[in-house]
Each structure stands twice: as C-alpha cells, then as structure tokens.
Structure 1
Amino acid sequence: MTEDEWPCRDFDPTDEPRLQDQFAVYRQLRSRSPFARSAKYGQAGWAAVPECAWVVSTYDEVKKVAADDDTFSSRIRGGPTRPHAGPDPLIPIHFDPPEHRIYRAGLSRFFTHRVVASMEASVRQLANELVVDLFSDAGQVDLVAGFADRLPQLVMWRQPLLGEPAPVPGVVDWVAHFARWVRHTNDPTDVGDTAAREMLDYVSAVFEQRQQNPQQDIPTKLQDSALSPEEQVSALWFLWKAGTETPSAALAAILHLLIRDQELWRCLRDQPSLIPSAVEEFLRFIGVVHTGQRFVRRATRWNGHDISEGDFIMLLWASANRDERAFPDADRLVVDRQPNDHVAFGSGRHHCLGVHLARLELRIAIEVFVQQVQSAHLVEGFVPRWKMAGVGRRLQTLPVQLVLQSVNQ
C-alpha cells in the first residue's frame, strides 16, 4: 500500500464517521508512519493553511515536537480545527517565547495549586446541588446538559475565577446559555461565528461592569495588569472557553464509561482513594483533547522527511496516549496505572494552564456522582455520537435513568 492509498492521505480529525472510532484510525497511523502527510487541508470550507498537514501520532514524536520551540511555532493563524471567529491570536496559547512566557506568568497565578485547593468546598457543594437537581426531572435526564455542561460553567463563573456573571438580557438560565455559546463557537458556520461574536461582546461587557464594580476575580485583576484592552479580552475569552469546554467534554466521557461499566462504578464508590489515579487514567484513555497545532519555523529534516518552513503540523495527543510503546496494554482502562505520564494536558511550554482546576473538578464530580447516585442506566436505544469541539472530541448527549442513593453529604 502506497502513501497515497492508506487512510492518512485524507486524515481529518473532524470527520464524524471516523470520529466515532478515532482510535482505530490512530492505531493505523502509529503502525504505518509516526510522521505522515494528510492532504485534507487547503480545501473549501477550511481556513487558510498549507496544502497538507504533517500528522504526528506516536508518543515520543509528539513529545519531541511539543518540546522543540526552535523548529515548531505555536503562532497559529486560522488553523483548520479552530473557531471561525473569536480573538486571534489567543493569549497565551498562540504565542512563542518570549511573549508566551510573559503572558503565561501573568495568568498562571490565577490557577495555582493553592488557589484551586481553596475552591474544593465550593466545588463539592455545586456538584452535590447539581446531582440533587437531576432528580427534580421525572424520567430520563441528559447528563451532558444537566451535569457535565453545568458544573464547569458554575465553577468558572464565581470568585476567585471569573466572578459573578453579568446579566444577559432575556436569558433566564445563564449557565445553559453560556454552555451553548462555548459549544457553538466550534461550529464552522454562521452559527459558530454568531456565538463567538456574542461571547466577545459579553467579555467586553464584563470588563465594563468590573470598571464600575470591581471584584476579587480575574477580570478585575486583568484590568490592573499591563495587558492592553484587546489582550485582556483575548485572555479572558480563552480562559472561559478552555476552562469550561475541556472539563465538560471530559466529564461527559467519564460518566459514559462509568455507566457502561457498573463494576468500575462500584469499585470507585467502595474505594474512593482510587479516584485521583482513575482521573489520570480516564484522561489518558478517553482522549478529550485530540489535536494540537504547530507551524514549521524553518526548513529541516524530521523523522526521515524534509519539511518546509510554514508547513502545518498536527499533534495527535489522544493517539500518543494510546501508544503501546509508552503505555502497556494501552487500549485497556487501568484505574491504578502507574506510571501514567500521559499528555492529555499537552506537553512542553503549552502544558495546560488549568491542570489543577481540571483535576479538582473531575475528582469531585466522580466522588459525588458515584456516592450520591445508586445506579444509572443508558436509555434504551441510545447510540453515542461524538463530535469535534475545538481541538477535542465531545459526547453530544447522554440520556440516562437515575436512581438516587443518598443526598446526606
């Protein structure tokens, strides 16, 4: 089979049929070529990128590219899996050193281990309240809309993070409204453009509100920083989107796994000390963030291939996390896997800024869910549908029947 004939030639991370079993495609990529070409890009409907992309699929190669800032740049302009509207570039993810170091240092102080640890009680209260709310609806509930989407929004939009949300005219359920905004920004149509513009307008309104009524939150502190107004909007838009989109997708996928594997559910309920390591294994296994993006700074030879300045590079984080050479029995979920040096949060300088917050949210959500819910069953006939959301894969709905166990916590 020649390079032109095998599946990587038209590899597309957003292709919905393939997305339903993306890991099978990744196995082919890793076995045939860890550094391969896809001619999918540059076609109608995509943003302006080079005619092809280099697809990097193995753990070692993904780590090497992510660590080499001299050869590979993060200065993305309209990459194929990015929204069609919104701040461009996004701070800090679309910058290289030294700008990236300066921007990241200014934002990382909001997500330190100490700051996040101080939020544990409030996050646990929110998770408990959401589980109780699930049972207010008779019959089936959608765990994506009712739990996975709501928890990250509620966590982000309070102090010490984004603070109290400004009112949205005509909107009663602001949590669901915000979740739809974030989700729709990934739609490569007018729907996505509209959602992104409305989010941008809302971020600007938040800054105006903070000028009149300062809070102990990130928007107020950004206004007191050295960032320009445009940079403040870019940073806050990114923190809001990244801080809610990825945890939501991860939580939905984890709940889906738990509901399908009642033995695993009982294991985590009976042995809650396993949940922190289970969170790491869930993140490795489910591959919420599938792709990362780089551009080639200068022509070079890499992994036996000549790559040119300006070439587009796609890092497959989710494929790297299923690489059998890095993770024995990689396609099996092992909740106490050690070591587990996964790249679910990225690698290199652009390692996830909110890693402590994501781990806290997921740990608490699992703890509360397996303890408070006696059982959950997928609605008969349910077929999971996965869709690309930004650079990640997310479950669209998760309709279930729940049986409440206890709310006395």
Structure 2
Amino acid sequence: MDTMVEASGVSYDPYDAELDVDPYPMFRRLRDEAPLYRNEQYDFYALSRFADVKSASTEWDTYRSGRGSVLEMLKSGVPVPPGFILFEDPPAHDLHRSLLARVFTPRRVAEIEPKVRAFCAATLDPMVAHGGFDFVTDLGAEVPMRTIGMMLGMAEADQVTNRQRVDDGFRQNSEQPAEDRSAWIMAALDPETFGAYIDRRTKNPSDDLMTDLINATYTDTDGVEKHLDKATIMTYVGLLAAAGNETTVRLIGWAGKVLAENPDQRRELAADPSLIPAAIEELLRYEAPSPVQARYVSRDVEHYGVTVPEGSAMLLLTASANRDERVFADPDRFDIHRRTKNQIAFGYGIHFCLGAHLARLEARVALEEVLKRFPEWDVDWDNAVQAHTSTVRGWEKLPVVAS
C-alpha cells in the first residue's frame, strides 16, 4: 500500500485549510490513484469511491462508530455518554435511535414549517431595503437554531447562547494542532446546559420535544420498561441542538455560493419553486456539508489487495463519493435537473441522518423565501470567509448583494 501511495504521489491531509478550499481535485486523484489511501502522519486509511463508502457505511460491525466518528476523537479515546447515537454501535445505538425517532417525527417536522417560514420572512424583509444580506450570519445560522430551539421549547436567548457555544467549539477546534482536537467535541455540545430545561419541563409539561423525551418509555436490554434518565435526555437534547445547527448552516451557505455561480439555474428556481427540492438534493451531492466520517476497524479487512488491520482508523470520504464519476455523470457540474437520487450526504445505513427531513425542509423554505425577495445576487467575495473544521465544511460569512 505504501508503495502505491508513494508511486501515485497523492497526499491527503484532512487538516489542511488550503486544501479544504477546494478538495475535489485531490479527491479525484484519490479515487483514481489510491482508492485505499494510507496516511502515516495521522495514522488513518481512507476510502474515496462511492461504492466503497456506501458499502462501508452499511457494514457497521466492521466499521464502528462507538469510539467516535471524528478522527481526532477516535484517536483520543474520549468517552462518549450514552444516547449520543452518532458515536454508538448496536445494540445501544438501535435502542437510543429508535426512541429518538419516536419523538422526532415527520409530524413534528411538518408542524414547524409555518414558524420557519415566518421567521425567514421576518429576517429577510428588512434586508430588501439594504440591498443584500449574509447567507450565513443573517439566515443560515439563524434558521436551524430557531427551528430546533422552537421544537425543544428553548427560550430565544438560550437558543443564541447554544449556537454561539457550538460555533466557538468548532472555531477553536480549527485553530488547534490536529493532535489536540478532541476535547472540544463534548464541550461544544455541553448537554449540561439543558438540565434546567429538563427540570422545568418535568414540572410543567408542554407540547415540545423536551416533554416527549421526558415522557418516553423504552424496554431496556434486561426486558424492563424504563424512562430515560436525566443525563441521557441531556445528551439527546445536546445532540439535537448541535447536529441540528451545524450541517444545515453549511447547506444554506452553499446554496448562496453555488447559485451565485450558476445564475441561469437560480433564475429557473425563482421562476419555478417546485424545482427547489431537487436543487437541494443536488446541492447536498455537489457540496456535502459533512464531507468525512471516521470509523474504527474492528477486524482485518481487505481493499484493493491490501489488508487494513484491526484497530485502524478509516475515513469515509462522503464528499468524494458524491463526486465519483463512476456513479455520477459529469460530477463536477452542478445541475438542478440531475435525476440521480442516490447522493449520500446524509450518510447511509444505520447512521443515516435522523434529521435529514428537517434539514431539507429548512433549506427549502429558506431558499423559497430568499428567491421571492432576491431573485438575483452576487457574492461579496471581499468579505466572505470560509470556515475550516475537520467535521463540517462551509462558510462562516457569505454576504451577498442584490444584482
């Protein structure tokens, strides 16, 4: 394997901010020259082709999430509290996910749409007179924060505090040396923040997700029916509040950039909003907000004639898989009319994103409301700032001006 990597000359550093600006030429080289890649510096392997990433995503017993699905967390051995389903394997994962799925229902998501739309309208209306807005700070960071906050029953001030804490955690992570990027993960989520809400909802139930979680019962592995304990509820809520913010922020930001670069397709969306759901699927394929996932290899496996030993770290390069020319014709072209439905930006298998339907709704509503008021825009590149983290990829600031 090392000989193949050296012969190809390809080198992939997941912490390289310069590479993160446009990783796709590197991903293409990985797919073509080193479909099983080995990085000695950070001690990981990587799979970059669609078929390999999708297959590994389904083989959870071999490619495990229980030690963390972020490379630095997996390497650090940071303990994960129960209920954090992103970092769990069956049977605990299945138990916790099924319980969360029972309260995080399509009905709950559908009910929130009018509130999301009203918030988008209230945010964007004043911006029309200003001649522009920031896709991230004004809209992308606000919509998911407000949405998940409303669903959980959080006060507005606490929604802002929670989002800022998560943002700070991601930002501090990006500024740390790669080997030190582990402690931020649980600190950024800080489930303890929600303890007071749980106490309040226990005494004063309401029609929200927090109350649903408090009232939920499950049959434990010992066959006894139980309620969730407070610590597990805090983990659930922390997961929803963090995961419900970050990836959707990135998705909305990418909509601003990519549609500015494809004005003819943007005009089609403005003229026919029914095209927006398909456009969002293409955005997810074209610029995956969560481009890489880590797994712990639980047994020796073979790829391309090379044995990956038990105990290795394997990166699944979702963003590369979504641009694999073996599956997607002309993959580096953005096309809102692309009919392919098999993009895997939300993952695949048992860890398919539980909030995918909510993210799609938020992005659709946000884009509908933007295009009503701003059918044309250009990015203010002098003031745009790309965010660089090892977990999500997108924009920290993306100001646009009406054109």
Pairwise TM-score range, normalised by the shorter structure? 0.7 to 0.9
Percent identical across equivalent pairs? 29
Does residue 150 (structure 1) correspond to residue 142 (structure 2)? The answer is yes
Amino acid at match of 1:129: A
Give the match for residue 223 of structure 2. Answer: none
Q: How many residues align?
A: 382
1:122 pairs, out of 105, 111, 115, with 115
Moved over 4 A (4+): 5-9, 81-90, 189-195
SS at match of 1:385: strand
Matches within 5 A, 1:228-307: 228-307=229-308
Give the match for residue 24 of structure 2. Answer: 23
2:101 pairs, out of 108, 118, 137, with 108
Give, in whole Å, the separation in 2 of the partners of 1:167 and 1:205. 14
Amino acid at match of 1:398: L
- Superposed displacement of residue 88, structure 1: 4.3
- Superposed displacement of residue 6, structure 1: 4.8
Q: 1:312 to 1:66 in 2, by over 3 A?
A: same
Q: 1:377 to 1:81 in 2, by over 3 A?
A: farther
| Contact 2:69/2:295 (8 A) holds in 1 | no
Structure 1, residues 216-247: CA drift from partner, whole Å, max 9, x if none? 22222222333232222221111111111110
Give the match for residue 333 of structure 2. Answer: 332
Give, in whole Å, the separation in 1 of the partners of 2:338 and 2:299. 39
- Superposed displacement of residue 179, structure 1: 2.6
- Superposed displacement of residue 166, structure 1: 7.4
SS at match of 2:314: strand
Which structure has more helix as a fraction of its residues? 2
Give the match for residue 72 of structure 1. Answer: 63
- Superposed displacement of residue 125, structure 1: 1.3
- Superposed displacement of residue 33, structure 1: 1.9
Q: 1:303 to 1:216 in 2, by over 3 A?
A: farther
Give, in whole Å, the separation in 2 of the partners of 1:338 and 1:232. 40
- Superposed displacement of residue 290, structure 1: 0.4
- Superposed displacement of residue 256, structure 1: 1.4
Does residue 219 (structure 1) correspond to residue 190 (structure 2)? The answer is no
Give, in whole Å, the separation in 1 of the partners of 2:361 and 2:343. 17
| Contact 1:284/1:321 (8 A) holds in 2 | yes
SS at match of 1:24: helix
Does residue 363 (structure 1) correspond to residue 347 (structure 2)? The answer is no
Structure 1, residues 261-309: CA drift from partner, whole Å, max 9, x if none? 3222211011111111111001100111101121111223333221211
- Superposed displacement of residue 36, structure 1: 1.3
CA RMSD of aligned residues (A): 2.7
Q: TM-score, normalised by structure 2?
A: 0.86
Give, in whole Å, the separation in 1 of the partners of 2:72 and 2:136. 22
Structure 1, residues 4-48: CA drift from partner, whole Å, max 9, x if none? 365654x2223101001111111111011221111232xxxxxxx
**Runs of 5+ unmatched residues, structure 1:** 42-51, 169-173, 404-409
**Runs of 5+ unmatched residues, structure 2:** 217-226
Amino acid at match of 2:168: H
Matches within 5 A, 1:85-104: 88=81, 91-104=84-97
Give the match for residue 355 of structure 2. Answer: 354
Amino acid at match of 2:67: I
